[in-house]
Chain A
Amino acid sequence: MREHRFGGRAAAALVAVIGMLIAAGCSSNSSSTSGSAAAPAPSGTTASTSQCGSKPGVQATGTPIPLGGIVTNQPGTSFADIANMANAYFTCVNANGGINGHPIKYYIETEQTNPAQIAGEAKQLVQTDHVVGIVGNTSIIECSVDHSYWEKLGFAIVDSGIAPECYSTPNSAAVNMGPRYSSDGAVQYALSQHVSKVVFDQSNVPGTGYIAAGPSALAAAAHVPIVQLTENVPISDANSVAIKEVDDAGPNGAVILNFTPPEALVILQAAQKLGLENRVKLWGCSTPCNTDFIAHELGPKWNHKLFVNAELTPPDFTTTPAMNLYKAILARYGHSVSSGVGSFSQMGFAEAEILVHALESVKGAYTVQSVNAAIKGVQGFNTGMLCQLWTYGKYPMHIPNNMDYTVTPDNGQMATAQGCTKISSVDPQIAAYRKVAGVAPAAP
């Protein structure tokens, strides 16, 4: 008995030690492929990062302005890059004068899709961290869980929305389009290529009906039949998924996917292994597929075969000052942004820009009231990352980004297949938004 006791405890300790050794020895994850954060910006962009603040080179030392953000970070779904990029932007601003000398302190809360945890974190940000603004929220359910709380306290959120509440409540405005309108964009492109049938397949996470309603409306208006599918994620049998999609679409059909990048990649790779990629007219994907990583992994068989909706300006072939600044900040301060150049970091950049723009217009103390009034007052702002100028405004719903591109893999990178195109007003939510807010002018 005694001997067993000793053996058991020693065994447990041994296992722990082995674990630590492995942890110490092995190197961790993978930012090797795709534009890594450490790589320098491509040539021709010697923009310094001093552009982000008003006093280049001067470190801000006043009382900090606390801001907060909540992002999903769990196996299979991580939006941490968005908040990390926003943080990188704020760090840059703090190193170059801050907001009238005040540095921004950004509290990032990560969550694992647990409503109790999400609600708790919102309260933590408000009651313990005393934030005056919320920016960068990107979560499958945070908008649903917290929106009443934010509205009650008067916070105007600037986020990268996903849930319906992010687009249909008065206190949340997104820089992206979210799964429904991005899927609209992908379906719209397919319809413009005169496919005879559309198969729309998405991951079975909360909100599938809301997301499916957009593509359904578009297909109905074009008199094209649409098949709506959902898959439980993580996908354990991609082969059957790919075969089903291709069978349902037929040779002149389109398969449009709405999944997170790993799941979409697994389906597309399965389709390629089964030799199915040419069995339909074209494949489409909502914005999560818009990364160089996917373009690289998929290989040349998908050149001009897969059309990805891009909610943001393609970074690879753009050299505007804003894009150069983005890449410079990413290179210098964005070490924790593991996906490097891509939609997630672009969203983080744009959201941070908007906040800084709003904060700079605040006169007097930085309180919840003054800061959020300024955020709501953001009008016609050029983020440099979107097709249109961005407006918050006092509307009952917000879809300020409703015009975007389509890109396609081209030998390892994403190339533009179609320039800025408005998402069709056939989607009733888009129509409702344009009714109250009009159509924002295109960015110069």
Chain B
Amino acid sequence: MPSWQDFQPFVVSGLALGGVYALSGVGLIVLYRATGVVYLAFGAVGAMGALIAWSLINANVQGWVAWLVCVAFAGVVTLGYGLLFGPALAKRDPLVKAVATLGLTLVLFGVMDLLWTTGGGQSRAITLPTDNGGFTIGQVQVTWTQVVGLGAGVAITVVTAAFLRYTKLGTAMRAMANDREITATLGVPVRRVEAAAWLGCGLLGGLAGLLLADLVALDAATLTFLVISSLAAALIARLRSIALTFVAAIVIGLIHDLLTPIQSLSNYRDMTPFVLAAVALLVLSRRRVISLSREEA
């Protein structure tokens, strides 16, 4: 059994990884709370935004312009999807709405692989200026990007929670997730609120994509399907609590990395998000049936 000395650097990297999961997980919850859609294309829009930013930087466009384009792209695509398919699917089951976003994921994934082929043995990378420099904790260096990743997760959690609770738009979003029809009859501009929610989620997706491209890898498949691990954190929070999602994500990241030095479990550590989510859901459902009726949002 490894000693505390051995575990220590993994605590640091685990927190950074948890921050990564938290960003996407919180983004997923935000949209779900507002529209009842589990936006499974969250990773894909971020990935494509990051790849577009990469192409722009390669074409000698200014760094910050490229990042803005990345975030804007993700926002626009998500908003576009929401406007096109949101109304058509609004009355359907949350399951149908989620599966529809899988359709968008496949489309984006196919487009990314076509435009940014992964042949040739080369790889792409995005470096953010926060990569240079950081500080040392124990034996390990922590870059500012990792701090930003974790910090962004915290900030978004706090800001979104406050936004949903204290602002008019936020309250409207919560009401809509509860019951769209009644909210509409109350005079809330349902379509506009929905559009705001979609746009906000998309912008988050772009930001997450950029940070993840730097912290994990600029690879379409990795970034697109990283959302499944973030989804685990959201599931543990039963798709309800933003704060719980954040905590779950940090715990998943920590456990994942802390398993690394344990020889017998090390190769299975990628299972961490899935096992934790499955166990949490099955345990939670022992006491009562979990369903996604309208009143449950």
Contact = CB atoms under 8 A, between A and B. Distances in A.
Contacts of B222: 234, 236
Max count, chain A CB within 10 A of own CB: residue among B111, B220, B226, B256: B111
Interface string A1-43: 0001001100100110011001100111111111000000000
Nearest to A15: B107
Interface in B113-154: 113-125, 131, 136, 139-141, 143
Contact of B120 (A14, A29, A229, A239): A29
A239 B141 CA distance: 11
Interface stretch (A179-187, A265-273, A326-334): A265-273
A232 interface: yes
Q: How big is chain B's contact interface, by range?
A: 35 or more
Interface residues of A, number: 60
Interface string B99-120: 0000000010001011111111
Contacts of A135: none
Interface in B196-242: 216-217, 219-222, 226, 229
B55 A243 contact: no
Interface string A120-135: 0000000000000000
B115 A23 contact: yes
A310 to B, nearest CB: 15
Given A236-B270, A244-B260, A247-B6, A338 B55 contact: no
A199 to B, nearest CB: 13
Contacts of B29: none
A288 B121 contact: yes
Interface stretch (A51-59, A75-83, A161-169, A433-441): A75-83
B257 A293 contact: no
Interface in B135-176: 136, 139-141, 143
Contacts of A229: 266
Given A15-B84, A34-B122, A27 B131 contact: no
Contacts of A27: 55, 59
A154 interface: no
Interface stretch (B10-18, B32-40, B286-294): B10-18
Nearest to B6: A247
A73 interface: yes
A136 to B, nearest CB: 15
Given A11-B84, A19-B107, A338-B122, A75 B221 contact: yes
Contacts of B189: none
Contact of B123 (A22, A26, A81, A262): A262
Contacts of B17: 237, 239-240
Contacts of A237: 13, 17, 216, 256-257
A222 interface: no
A19 B104 CA distance: 11
Contacts of A137: none
A38 to B, nearest CB: 14
Contacts of A238: 216-217
Interface string A243-267: 1100100000000000011100110
A235 B267 CA distance: 12
A74 B123 CA distance: 13
B285 interface: no
**Which secondary structure dominates where chain B touches chain A?**
helix
A75 B113 contact: yes
A274 interface: yes
Contacts of A269: 125
Contacts of B229: 236
A230 interface: yes
A262 B219 contact: yes
A279 B141 CA distance: 12
A81 B122 contact: no
A344 interface: yes
B9 A243 contact: yes
Interface in A105-162: none
A411 interface: no
B119 A80 contact: yes
Given A76-B221, A269-B125, A240 B260 contact: yes
Contacts of B9: 243, 247
A247 B262 CA distance: 12
Contacts of B62: none
Contacts of B114: 23
A261 B121 contact: yes
Contacts of A234: 217, 219, 221-222
B261 interface: yes
B6 A261 contact: no
A361 B84 CA distance: 66
B124 A240 contact: no
A21 to B, nearest CB: 11
Contacts of B87: 7
Contact of A32 (B58, B123, B267, B270): B58
Contacts of B270: 232, 236
Nearest to A231: B267
Contacts of B88: 4, 7-8, 11
Given A232-B267, A243-B9, A344 B118 contact: no
A30 B58 CA distance: 9
B229 to A, nearest CB: 8
A339 B122 contact: yes
Given A11-B84, A247-B6, A338 B16 contact: no
Interface string A190-220: 0000000000000010000000000000000
Contact of A261 (B111, B123, B140): B123
Given A76-B219, A236-B226, A338 B119 contact: yes
A347 to B, nearest CB: 12
B78 to A, nearest CB: 13
Given A239-B17, A244-B266, A273-B131, A28 B120 contact: no
A8 B100 CA distance: 12
Interface of A: 4, 7-8, 11, 14-15, 18-19, 22-23, 26-34, 73-76, 78, 80-81, 204, 229-230, 232, 234-241, 243-244, 247, 260-262, 265-266, 269, 273-276, 279, 288, 291, 293, 297, 338-339, 342, 344
5 contacts: A19-B107, A239-B17, A243-B10, A273-B143, A274-B141
Q: Which 5 A-B pairs have the closest CB atoms?
A: A262-B123, A275-B141, A78-B119, A338-B120, A239-B13
Given A237-B257, A262-B123, A288-B121, 6 more contacts: A15-B84, A26-B115, A27-B55, A30-B124, A261-B122, A275-B140
